[in-house]
Amino acid sequence: MSWTTPDLCDELGEAARVLPLPFIDYGGREVFDGPVRTARCPQDNSRVKELLATPGEGHVLVVDGGESLAVALLGDLIAGGAVEQGWAGVVIAGAVRDVEVLRTLDLGVRALGSTPRRSNRQGRGEAGVPVTVGGVTITPGDHLYADATGLIVTTP
């Protein structure tokens, strides 16, 4: 790794947008970065499942789950598929499940918490739209960096 989030913040100043929410590291990959793809899908992980089943090419999926912990937007099966598809990571402003398995996968996973309750897929939500996470607007094509210190987003 040739960067840390503190060094990037020092170098980039206000251009490094810090995600201020208390994200928890659930993945097997603690340090990750990549171009951002987005989804907005409170209480319904249909868009998450669809996106992570496509070639990831080192991207990071940022999910606006409305900061809800009522249902999980990512579990072991979808995350395992994301690894196979080459995704670098997933950042969810919401919950995950199957935490014991997520920790074994070569995938960065950050979320606000966990719950055993799965989402009922109803096809709701949007993909490829600007999302706001912790007051920070993130646009597809931005770049996300995650390490043990925190998460930042930059615009190329």
Tens-place pLDDT, residues 60-82: 999 999 999 999 999 999 999 99
- Show the tokens assigned to 41: 């899908």
* Alpha helix segments (H runs only) across 53-132: 76-85, 99-102
pTM for this model (two decimals) = 0.96
The DSSP secondary-structure symbol of 117 reads P
Domains, the chain = 21-154 (3.50.30.40)
pLDDT digits (tens, 9 = 90+) for 20-32: 999 999 999 999 9
* Residue 47 neighbours by CB under 8 Å, 6+ apart: 39, 40, 41, 63, 125, 126, 127
pLDDT at 121: 83
Residue-wise pLDDT tens for the chain (156 aa)? 699 999 999 999 999 999 999 999 999 999 999 999 999 998 999 999 999 999 999 999 999 999 999 999 999 999 999 999 999 999 999 999 999 999 999 999 999 999 999 998 887 899 999 999 999 999 999 999 999 999 999 998
